[in-house]
Structure 1
Amino acid sequence: MVTSFPYLAPFKFNLLCSFFFLLVLLLSSSLVSASDFEALLTLKQGFHNHPENWDSSNSSSVCLWTGVKCHHGRVISLDLTDLNIEGSVSPCVLSTVDSLIHLSLAGNNFSGRLDEFKTMSSLKFLNLSNNKFDGGLDGWNFSNLPNLEVFDVNNNNLTSFLPLGVTKLKNIRHLDLGGNFFYGKIPQIYGELISLEYLFLGGNDLQGSIPKELGNLTNLRLLFLGQYNVYEGSIPKEFGKLGNLVHLDASSCGLSGPIPKELGNLVMLDTLYLHMNRLSGGLPREIGNLTGLTNLDLSINAFVGEIPHEFVNLKSLKLLNLFMNKLHGSIPDYIADGLPELETLGLWKNNFTGEIPRNLGKNGKLQVLDLSSNKLTGTIPSNLCDSNHLTVLILMNNFLFGPIPESLGSCLSLIRVRLGQNYLNGTVPNGLLYLPQINLLELQNNYLSGNLSENVDPCVLNPAKLDQLDLSNNLLSGPLPNSISNFSSIQFLYFEGNQFSGPIPKSIGQLKQVIKLDLSNNYLSGLIPSEIGSCPHITYLDLSQNNLSGSIPPEISSNTIMSYLNLSRNHINGSLPVSLGSMKSLTTVDFSLNDLSGKLPEFSAFNASSFVGNPLLCGLFLNNPCNLSLVPSPSPNIKSSGEYKLIFALVLLVCSLIFAGAAVFKAKSFKKGSDSWKMTTFQKVDFNVSDIMECMKDGNVIGRGGAGIVYHGKMACGSEIAVKKLLGFGPNNKKHDHGFRAEIETLGQIRHRNIVRLLAFCSNKHTNLLVYEYMRNGSLGEALHGKKLGAFLGWNMRYKIGIEAAKGLCYLHHDSSPLIVHRDVKSNNILLDSHFEAHVADFGLAKFLSGASECMSAIAGSYGYIAPEYAYTLRVDEKSDVYSFGVVLLELLTGRRPVGDFGEGVDIVQWSRVQTNGRKEKVPLIIDSRLTAIPQDEAMHLFFVAMLCTQENSVERPTMREVVQILSEYPYHVMGYQPAPSSSLLINNSNNNNNNNNKQQSNDVKKG
């Protein structure tokens, strides 16, 4: 065959060589050295669970194990990322696998301490991120890792100073120490890591100034310094030498002073994030040199002056955020003409004047535009939505006039439109109310006129997502459109203060989701449609100051949750439906100035002012009693008192027998089914029901309350838990579950650093147990008001705890899905871990928010923390939590309990207002006497925030997101344990004010 086909010989030879090569490669990859095999077996013994194919009986299979790669008989890569492995890892075991070049333990649940690496001289990649490591890096011997290129311990629980040993890693390219609890200053020696391309130090508790030596890292491409860190001073001008830098994030870390003009040398920069600091001065024109910049966020600072003309060179800019500064002047035209890639423009809450650039949006890429709360004049540009990319348009609270552009009525991409508080006139553009994606439309407090258009083609334009529509206080007229029924998702509908006329359309009964409906102060006439009774979620109905007539439809009373009903100043006649008296949820009613007649139903909670102006109404408390002769007299008592006593005794005896039998049956059934436990886990845990039951001993009780008993337990693996046992009648009795079901539903889906973690839920026929992560330092209430810790919980720590608790509540109110109102915010429900980091806890009373206040059947919460509107009306929303949090801030400031220290009927809010007369300057009168050398500006600022949160009118309270921002305005002591700056005045509560004592107190403040 060879002689017949000589041209096939080379082919056969090559095929044979390839086969031989593959065979050698297969053998070399399947056989592994004994030392590597033994090391991996020892490593496996530390795991509580492991990948299924880790077969310890066959050493030849090692190279086929999940996460293991081999080369020439040696393990070169161990990648266990996101395998949910639990247990411990001993670096000294891995040190024998000295050919490793890739080691990743990210995304698992390893615990314990990281000991010393010794002989892993070939290691090039190490990733330990997303674990639960405790302790620090003090035991690491980095000198034995000369070839390490990647070192990643992101998102663990590591503490101590930043490790100095990493400076021995001369080949390190990627260093990630973020998301831990490292404290102290950034070492200047870090400037010697000249090979670094990626440096992440964000999310720690770092302090001090940023060392200028970091400017020597000329190979850096990404630099993250912000989040939770609180630095002193400004950005080092030496950063201008980082010529290869692509991404710089120094946001939310307390920086002050001007932006150094040297940053204009960073021509490779793509992203510059410096938001949420205290930077000041003008915007440096040198930023215009960064022609490759895509994202620029300088918001929430104290910049002044105008936007420099040099920003016209930022041709690649997609995001420009300058909001919440003190900038002035006009918005440059080049923002519309010269930034062709611009997608997001946020300039709100400044002092900009002049007109909005005419060509804004003409580039066809604009998606988000917020210019609200400025002093802009002129008209709204007509081409904002030329390419149907615009999703958010917020121009409220300016001085804009003229009509709303008709083009917005066909902008199918719009989601949020807020144009209120301007001087706009003309008509509402056809189609604007019926855009398919829109969920918020606010046009209130303008001079809009004309009729509202009908939705002519609901198949094309159907506002299925519209949640809130506010057209109040305009000059709109004509009938209400019948196509109002297309607003199938509307919850808030405000049409008050216009000139609408004609009847209320019956189609209004199709608004099945509406919560608040206000049609007051118009010219509406005709009957009140009975279809309103078909709106099951309505809590607020105002039809006052119209020309409505006829009788009140009894169908209105079919709504069992309505709390506000106002039908005053109409021409309504007939009698009040008797069924209105059974609406227990009503807290405010007004039927005054109508033509009502007949007998008043039994309203127990209202006074005569709600019914004045109806002369034909009669009732005892109206000073117009009805004809008593028409009321039948009670029938004579035909039974003797003795007969009543006998009947009562027999009934009492029967009830006693029934209760005794039920108790015996309950005891037997409990004994029979006490062992049938069901356990649901929300995290990876290393314990079972038997381990939990072992914790539930009298000697382990750490807390008792109305909802249950809390036990402390330590598992065999070393982890610690807190077990909360329900005191009630078991999970099958919803009436007595004490909020456990709410707590499970809430905590099971929450993931936030400042919210306590629910690990598991156990239940049997009679008992419920909740298993939490253990908080070693108890509650804030115990720390403040207990005998041991209160005196040592210093000012820095208190301010830090305040911000952390605010962040947890901010997540519940603004970022969780669905949004959650806690309903029991108090210092005893803010728990402190071993690092004194705050965690919001106890969700037994939590409620999911549907976008409006809810009416509760009874008051829930803790005395002294309950908001006024909740106590009076049983209506609760997120602003009720804000009030309670304000009380917590006053506890932090004064060290006093909410009630009991101020006399009968006086709480901490009233006492604080009286003592200070509401003035920040008098704050020293109420500060906790155990605190010394407190920065006066911070104390006054905390008091100011507390007073905002505890406003009587809930509308005047800030949101929790605003609370976080406001508290962060004084960041010297926030998250950083720094002494007050020398310019700050100190409040000294000590009687001894000599210089030596003041110096010692300042040193104490440094230690937190």
Structure 2
Amino acid sequence: MCGPIPLQLENLSGLVELYLGGNNFSGTIPSTLGLLTCLTHLDLHSNQINSTIPSEIYNLENLMVLQSGTNNLFCPISSKIGNLKNVVSLNLSHNLLIGPLPHTLTNLRSLVKLNLGGNFFYGTIPTEICNIKGLMTLHLGTNNLFGPLPYELSRLTRLQYLNLSSNKLSGRISTNLQNLVHLSVLDLSLNKLSGPLPTQLTNLHALEQLLLGHNNLTGSIPRVAYPFKLTTIDLSHNLLSGEIPPQLGNLSFLQYLDLSNNYFTGNIPPNLVFWRQMNLSYNSLTGPLPECFCYYFGPETIMDNKDLCWEKNISGYYYCFGSPHINIGSTSTENVTKWIKIILPIVISFIFLLLGIVLLSRQKLIENTGPECKAKRNGDIFSIWNYDGNIALEDIITTTEDFDIRYCIGTGGYASVYRAMLPSGKVIALKKLHRLESQKLTFDKSFRNEAKVLSEVRYHNILKLYGYCLHRRCMFLVYEYMEKGSLFYAISNDVKAKELDWKKRVNIIKGIANALSCLHHDCIPTIIHRDLTTSNILLNSELEAFVANFGIARPLNLDSSNLTTLAGTYGYIALVVTLALACLCSNPKSRPTMKHVSQEILARKPPLPKPFYEISMWDLMNQEIYLII
């Protein structure tokens, strides 16, 4: 259903429950709904309603459920909301509501579920909310709230779900949170919290998800017993140090552990290798990897731990042979000789077989390609445009040592990026599709689409493609190397962000605009990028912006339908539009100031605490459940 909400609803004076959610209603909320005094349930969620909340709604004294999430409601919440004393569930999430949280929320003594996440509320968290003793769900995430965590949160002893993520909260995590004995989800990620990780949190025996990533927490992880129900632990992107406690390996229900981007030292406990997902990258871990580690996890899960080694000779890691961690004295000379006699002939036969295959392949390649392709050495699968000198496939394989992990500078959901210096001294970037993903039609199509688009477009602010290799066994793209990495990394790193003064940021915006202008106006047909995020904007040594990642780009044909499925990075769609709509508030005093707008543009946080490809269907289902309550 679409169009405005019918005004004739006011004639249904005896109406008790009104469900209009999940439609396409637009316009305003009729103030005449306030005449339906018998109403107990009002559900308007997931529409296109663009208005304030009429003050007449707050006169519905019998109202128990108010669901208006995922709309375009704007302006502050009136203090009259305290009149809804019988409300049990209040959901105004994912709107354009601004201003401080009203202190009159404390009057909602019957409230069990409160969801105001995904708005633009600012100020501190009112301590009066902590007087609602029956509250079981409190979601204030993804706002602009600041200040310390209220000490009074410990009063909410029935609380089961607490989400204060993606705000600007600071200070320490209070030890009295241990009083929340029924808490199953604690999400304080993406804030500015500091201090040690309280040992008392391990007393939350009902806890299933502990999400404290992207803060400034210090100290070590407590070496105590943890709640056995834990399924998710995220402590990534903090300042934690010390050894990883082996007690974490006793959590039989744990499915996801992220300790990346910290300062952990010591060995990896051997009982950590049986979980479905784990990330220990960017730490200072040492010693041999646990047995069967690489069977369960890829090398990207332990990247940038330079002192890790492997008891077998695996490319990219130190070989632990002869180290004090390995006991080789028990192997008798007789057994060693026996194994040599068995393995050596197999190895020699394999080498001769491999040499024969290589020679036959090269001979076939020369016969099929002729003189021109012979000069280019791999011209049938490796194409080069507009580059001073032919880049040969063999040169790339040699310089990267067959894509050794030491040359890897980034890993995504379906591809890894490598840095390579050619014999000529030229530095290039290589985007290589993961071997398993190359067998999937979706990723294969995306890779070929990116090669096709970039081979037809040449512009200063669009990442330059030097060449590509599209073969079912090896697929990679060769790009111009960008020294400063992505714009996302530059603005999320405090040290790097200081290099971006206002003038440089304006130049970056100009560069992006020039690239889009070229795609939209100079290309025939017009090319639509469809995934323009800060992660897909790269910066060179002069901090010039280059648009990259054209995997889902498509031409815009004016003579055919341009309807398409939803594509792009989850959480970024219409991000700027919501901020613009907030500026249309009818009350000038309630509109965000220019300072507030600039802060949102310059310091906007990622919509998700981890990449979309790392989020399981179970995570999405849990998130959706909590967002609609």
The answer for unaligned runs of 5 or more in structure 1 is: 1-132, 455-470, 480-501, 507-524, 533-549, 561-576, 589-602, 614-812, 820-845, 884-915, 929-944, 988-1008
The SS at the match of 1:868 is coil
Q: 1:339 to 1:869 in 2, by over 3 A?
A: farther
In the alignment, which residue of structure 2 is the partner of 1:984? 595
Out of 50, 74, 77, the residue aligned to residue 207 of structure 1 is 74
Deviation readout 1:712-740 (Å, 9 max, x if unpaired): xxxxxxxxxxxxxxxxxxxxxxxxxxxxx
In the alignment, which residue of structure 1 is the partner of 2:110? 244
Q: Where does 1:846-885 land on structure 2 (aligned, <5 Å)?
A: 848-849=442-443, 853=447, 858-859=452-453, 863=457, 867-870=462-465, 872-873=467-468
Deviation readout 1:941-987 (Å, 9 max, x if unpaired): xxxx8776331689997999878469859964256634753453999
**How much does 1:340 deviate?**
0.7
Kindly provide the amino acid, as one letter, of the partner of residue 174 in structure 1: H
Kindly provide the amino acid, as one letter, of the partner of residue 379 in structure 1: E
In the alignment, which residue of structure 2 is the partner of 1:973? 580
Kindly provide the amino acid, as one letter, of the partner of residue 605 in structure 1: N
Q: 1:418 to 1:986 in 2, by over 3 A?
A: closer
C-alpha separation between the residues in 1 aligned to 2:92 and 2:597?
29
In the alignment, which residue of structure 1 is the partner of 2:520? none
Q: Where does 1:896-975 land on structure 2 (aligned, <5 Å)?
A: 918-920=504-506, 949-951=536-538, 964=571, 968=575, 972-974=579-581
In the alignment, which residue of structure 1 is the partner of 2:358? 553
Residue 122 of structure 2 is aligned to residue 281 of structure 1: no
**How much does 1:922 deviate?**
9.4
C-alpha separation between the residues in 2 aligned to 1:384 and 1:552?
48
In the alignment, which residue of structure 1 is the partner of 2:424? none
C-alpha separation between the residues in 1 aligned to 2:141 and 2:175?
21
In the alignment, which residue of structure 1 is the partner of 2:3? 135
C-alpha separation between the residues in 2 aligned to 1:559 and 1:315?
70
**How much does 1:343 deviate?**
1.2
In the alignment, which residue of structure 2 is the partner of 1:385? 249
Kindly provide the amino acid, as one letter, of the partner of residue 868 in structure 1: L
The SS at the match of 2:106 is helix
**How much does 1:318 deviate?**
1.1
In the alignment, which residue of structure 2 is the partner of 1:605? 390
**How much does 1:858 deviate?**
4.1
Contact 1:859 1:870 in 2 (8 A): no
Contact 1:331 1:357 in 2 (8 A): yes
Kindly provide the amino acid, as one letter, of the partner of residue 211 in structure 1: S
In the alignment, which residue of structure 2 is the partner of 1:312? 178
In the alignment, which residue of structure 1 is the partner of 2:209? 344
Q: 1:216 to 1:986 in 2, by over 3 A?
A: closer
Residue 89 of structure 2 is aligned to residue 222 of structure 1: yes
Q: 1:151 to 1:961 in 2, by over 3 A?
A: same
The SS at the match of 2:260 is coil
C-alpha separation between the residues in 1 aligned to 2:503 and 2:357?
48
The answer for unaligned runs of 5 or more in structure 2 is: 323-339, 366-372, 399-411, 416-439, 483-501, 515-531, 551-566, 599-629
C-alpha separation between the residues in 1 aligned to 2:353 and 2:82?
71
Residue 309 of structure 2 is aligned to residue 445 of structure 1: no
Q: 1:388 to 1:249 in 2, by over 3 A?
A: same
Contact 1:215 1:238 in 2 (8 A): yes
The SS at the match of 1:262 is helix
Kindly provide the amino acid, as one letter, of the partner of residue 2 in structure 2: D
Q: Where does 1:608-647 land on structure 2 (aligned, <5 Å)?
A: 610=395
RMSD, matched Cα: 4.8
Corresponding pairs, count: 463
The SS at the match of 1:171 is coil
Out of 271, 277, 282, the residue aligned to residue 407 of structure 1 is 271
Q: Which has the higher contact order (CA 8 A, sep 6+)?
A: 2
In the alignment, which residue of structure 1 is the partner of 2:51? 184
Q: 1:275 to 1:556 in 2, by over 3 A?
A: farther
Out of 9, 16, 41, the residue aligned to residue 174 of structure 1 is 41
Contact 2:88 2:112 in 1 (8 A): yes
Q: 1:558 to 1:165 in 2, by over 3 A?
A: farther
Contact 1:134 1:157 in 2 (8 A): yes
**How much does 1:359 deviate?**
2.0
Deviation readout 1:878-922 (Å, 9 max, x if unpaired): 999xx9xxxxxxxxxxxxxxxxxxxxxxxxxxxxxxxx9633389
**How much does 1:444 deviate?**
2.1
In the alignment, which residue of structure 1 is the partner of 2:262? 398
C-alpha separation between the residues in 2 aligned to 1:957 and 1:856?
9
**How much does 1:247 deviate?**
1.3
Q: Compute the TM-score of the two structures, normalised by the length of structure 2.
A: 0.62
C-alpha separation between the residues in 1 aligned to 2:31 and 2:184?
39
Out of 413, 421, 427, the residue aligned to residue 282 of structure 2 is 421
C-alpha separation between the residues in 2 aligned to 1:211 and 1:166?
17
**How much does 1:226 deviate?**
1.4
Kindly provide the amino acid, as one letter, of the partner of residue 356 in structure 1: I
Q: 1:853 to 1:210 in 2, by over 3 A?
A: same
The SS at the match of 1:159 is strand
Q: Compute the TM-score of the two structures, normalised by the length of structure 1.
A: 0.40
Residue 193 of structure 2 is aligned to residue 327 of structure 1: yes
C-alpha separation between the residues in 2 aligned to 1:440 and 1:294?
36
In the alignment, which residue of structure 2 is the partner of 1:625? none
Contact 1:152 1:175 in 2 (8 A): yes
In the alignment, which residue of structure 2 is the partner of 1:367? 231
Residue 377 of structure 2 is aligned to residue 581 of structure 1: yes
Q: 1:608 to 1:386 in 2, by over 3 A?
A: closer
**How much does 1:381 deviate?**
1.1
Contact 2:376 2:392 in 1 (8 A): no
Contact 2:189 2:214 in 1 (8 A): yes
Kindly provide the amino acid, as one letter, of the partner of residue 166 in structure 2: I
C-alpha separation between the residues in 2 aligned to 1:319 and 1:293?
9
**How much does 1:377 deviate?**
0.6
C-alpha separation between the residues in 2 aligned to 1:241 and 1:396?
43
Out of 283, 286, 292, the residue aligned to residue 431 of structure 1 is 292
**How much does 1:856 deviate?**
6.9
C-alpha separation between the residues in 1 aligned to 2:230 and 2:547?
33
Q: 1:416 to 1:879 in 2, by over 3 A?
A: farther
C-alpha separation between the residues in 1 aligned to 2:512 and 2:278?
45
**How much does 1:853 deviate?**
4.5
Q: 1:244 to 1:404 in 2, by over 3 A?
A: same
Q: Where does 1:835-846 land on structure 2 (aligned, <5 Å)?
A: none
The SS at the match of 1:400 is strand
Contact 1:417 1:441 in 2 (8 A): no
Deviation readout 1:533-562 (Å, 9 max, x if unpaired): xxxxxxxxxxxxxxxxx79924776999xx
The SS at the match of 1:279 is strand
Kindly provide the amino acid, as one letter, of the partner of residue 382 in structure 2: L
Q: 1:986 to 1:396 in 2, by over 3 A?
A: closer
Deviation readout 1:988-1007 (Å, 9 max, x if unpaired): xxxxxxxxxxxxxxxxxxxx
C-alpha separation between the residues in 2 aligned to 1:921 and 1:863?
22
The SS at the match of 1:433 is helix
Deviation readout 1:35-75 (Å, 9 max, x if unpaired): xxxxxxxxxxxxxxxxxxxxxxxxxxxxxxxxxxxxxxxxx
Q: 1:176 to 1:559 in 2, by over 3 A?
A: farther
Contact 1:370 1:395 in 2 (8 A): yes
The range that moved more, 578-587 or 298-307, is: 578-587
Contact 2:220 2:242 in 1 (8 A): yes
The SS at the match of 1:135 is strand
